[in-house]
RNA sequence: GGGUCGGUAGCUCAGCGGUAGAGCAGCGGCCUUUUAAGCCGUUGGUCCAGGGUUCAAAUCCCUGCCGACCCA
């Protein structure tokens, strides 16, 4: 960027001033011995202990007078003339610095004047508590570590321009504390998912993102070209078919967390690339996987959020939705449809169902002329039932036409052994008793490919013919899981760099 | 793809035919424990872009770009 303004110009002049004094404003390294937020917390603990009239037992926290070396970004500056207060921030939080020119000495005081808000510095000093009770560091020396040549976003309102927040996420992270929290917690969620599966004896793998035939889901893929091989590849739309190959190969419990790519619309709930978890367990079935999903999500909620009652708040901070992860409902697809569409929904003729859906339920926009009967019912489910499933619900006994790749239920052969776990009005995790009959699988995939032989993943079918153990499988959309757990209503607020149209 | 709303100083926004504004940030002062520090002074603009209407356009009209939300 070539844009300049007076604020950038002033910072460049300060940079030149540092260079002129032989100070390197961009150091190669610095070794702090503590973190800002941690030191602040520990010093406050000590102050609390010290405050009681008769201190009892061993001191806690970090005492006044302790020497520390800290590094971070200057995020506030309060000039008192002969006394200056700065806030220094690192990933752990902030702490106040007290800087007195006379303590620094004349040369250092001159250099101090050339610092700007948002610069990175390292400091050395001793801990103390101000008259106002603020845990602080009395700075004895400092080192410029990384100069900021552009003004940071404001401190009051933070950064609110959504476009800048998404395009320059680093500014969002710098200015908006709650946003930083969301992404730190997303990292924590991923960590807990991994440890959950590892503890259960699962193996984590990585399978190809570039695939000759994109399979495992019905979605538009992105296409790319490999120069050396001279052929086209597709970015994967699902993980499934490679993980099942591993079941064939004898990896009995396997999971992958990875990016899928779907060349479709963008919305509050859709990003073209999104993170998917898929897990497969040999000798398990959909019931095994329901238990897995419930245990996993409970575990994450407790370890990351610290509660099973997840609160979603509006801009005013009022709770408008609470998701209770301590009760998991199980309900049949047909029963849920009847709740919205009438108890006799499945007893009337297909023509009557279509009429009711279009006229009574006002779904004309969602039901295409060529829809089959089961698709009419599916529209009712998707538009009228799913959005109301805010509390965790396993929807089971889906009609077999709806999920052609799953195994038939022994107790009701018109349905399949499949669940859709819905939370927060969205499908969060589908789970299957996976098809391991290669002949049935071939028929289903051939039907799905609609006679286009090139769309058939022959290598996958050959793998199944070598024998696959019965297995339960799940997929969990990690972004939507994060939205649900972290109280975010837009997928862009749980993806660090959401896709936007490039600016020219 | 359709509809609604938005784009003005570094940030947050006001102005909606008649000289381009405020708060914060910045800069210059004062203040030796302040913390949204305070007080005095002050700099800063391609009003998203391009066309049109008009004596006069940030403001009205058209086209385009980018974003948010809703719908499909």
A263 touches strand B (CB under 7 A): no
d(CA A312, CA A484): 8
What is the enclosing helix (H) or strand (E) of A87? strand A84-90
Binned at pLDDT 50, 70 and 90, residue A343 comes out as: very high
Binned at pLDDT 50, 70 and 90, residue A3 comes out as: low
pTM: 0.94
Backbone torsion region of residue A222, taken as left when φ is above 0, otherwise alpha when ψ lies between -120 and 50, otherwise beta: beta
Question: By CB neighbour count within 10 A (0-12 exposed, 13-18 middle, 19+ buried), where does A402 fall?
Answer: middle
What pLDDT was estimated at residue A2? 46
Spatial distance from the CA of A488 to the C1' of B48 (Å): 29
d(CA A14, CA A152): 16
Instruction: Indicate whether A99 pLDDT > 50.
Output: yes
Q: Coil, helix or strand for A232?
A: strand
Residue numbers in A 111-130, CB below 7 Å of strand B:
116-117, 128, 130
Where is average pLDDT lowest: A261-270, A336-345, A363-372, A427-436? Answer: A363-372
Q: What is the mean pLDDT of residues A128-136?
A: 95
What pLDDT was estimated at residue A156? 83
Question: How far from chain centre, in Å, is Cα A257?
Answer: 12
Spatial distance from the CA of A498 to the C1' of B11 (Å): 23
A160 touches strand B (CB under 7 A): yes
A166 touches strand B (CB under 7 A): yes
A5 touches strand B (CB under 7 A): yes
A267 touches strand B (CB under 7 A): yes
Residue nearest to nucleotide B43 (CA to C1'): A6
Instruction: Indicate whether A362 pLDDT > 90.
Output: no
Binned at pLDDT 50, 70 and 90, residue A4 comes out as: low
A366 touches strand B (CB under 7 A): yes
A162 touches strand B (CB under 7 A): yes
- H helices of A52-176, in order, are 101-104, 106-113, 162-167, 169-175
Q: What is the mean pLDDT of residues A366-382?
A: 87
Spatial distance from the CA of A158 to the C1' of B11 (Å): 7
Spatial distance from the CA of A6 to the C1' of B9 (Å): 11
What pLDDT was estimated at residue A154? 85
Q: Coil, helix or strand for A336?
A: helix
């Amino acid at each position: 960027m070539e844009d300049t303004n007076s604020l950038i110009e002033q910072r460049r002049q300060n940079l030149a001033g540092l260079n002129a004094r032989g100070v390197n404003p961009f150091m190669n390294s610095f070794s702090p011995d503590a973190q800002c937020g941690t030191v602040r917390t520990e010093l406050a603990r000590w102050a609390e202990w010290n405050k009681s009239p008769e201190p009892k037992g061993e001191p806690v926290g970090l005492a006044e007078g302790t020497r520390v070396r800290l590094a971070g970004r200057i995020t506030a500056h309060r000039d008192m003339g002969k006394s200056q207060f700065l806030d220094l921030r690192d990933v752990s939080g902030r702490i106040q610095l007290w800087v007195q020119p006379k303590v620094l000495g004349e040369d250092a005081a001159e250099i101090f004047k050339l610092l700007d808000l948002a610069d990175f510095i390292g400091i050395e000093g001793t801990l103390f508590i101000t008259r106002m009770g603020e845990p602080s560091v009395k700075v004895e020396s400092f080192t410029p570590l990384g100069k900021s040549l552009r003004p940071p976003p404001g401190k009051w309102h933070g950064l609110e321009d959504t476009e800048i927040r998404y395009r320059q996420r680093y500014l969002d992270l710098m200015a908006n504390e709650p946003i930083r929290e969301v992404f730190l917690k997303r990292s924590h969620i991923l960590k807990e998912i991994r440890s959950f599966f590892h503890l259960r004896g699962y193996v984590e793998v990585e399978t190809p993102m570039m695939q000759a035939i994109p399979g495992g889901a019905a979605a538009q893929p992105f296409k790319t070209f490999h120069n050396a091989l001279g052929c086209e590849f597709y970015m994967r739309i699902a993980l499934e078919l490679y993980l099942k190959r591993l079941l064939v190969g004898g990896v009995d419990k396997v999971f992958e967390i990875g990016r899928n790519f779907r060349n479709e619309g963008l919305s509050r709930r859709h990003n073209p690339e999104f993170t998917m978890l898929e897990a497969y367990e040999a000798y398990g079935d959909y019931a095994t996987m329901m238990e897995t999903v419930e245990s996993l999500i409970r575990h994450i909620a407790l370890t990351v959020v610290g509660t099973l009652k997840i609160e979603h708040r509006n801009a005013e901070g009022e709770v408008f939705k609470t998701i209770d992860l301590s009760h998991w409902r199980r309900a049949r697809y047909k029963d849920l449809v009847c709740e919205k569409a009438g108890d006799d929904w499945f007893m009337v003729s297909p023509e009557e169902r279509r009429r009711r859906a279009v006229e009574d339920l006002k779904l004309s926009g969602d039901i295409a002329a060529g829809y089959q009967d089961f698709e009419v019912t599916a529209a009712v489910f998707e538009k009228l039932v799913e959005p109301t499933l805010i509390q965790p619900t396993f929807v089971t006994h889906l009609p077999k036409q709806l999920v052609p790749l799953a195994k038939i239920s022994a107790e009701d052969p018109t349905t399949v052994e499949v669940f859709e776990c819905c939370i927060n009005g969205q499908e969060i995790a589908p789970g299957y008793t996976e098809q391991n009959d290669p002949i049935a699988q071939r028929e289903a995939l051939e039907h799905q490919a609609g006679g286009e032989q090139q769309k058939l993943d022959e290598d996958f079918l050959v793998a199944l013919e070598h024998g696959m153990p019965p297995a339960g499988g799940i997929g969990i959309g990690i972004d939507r899981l994060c939205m649900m757990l972290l109280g975010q209503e837009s997928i862009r607020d749980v993806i660090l760099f959401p896709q936007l149209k490039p600016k020219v």
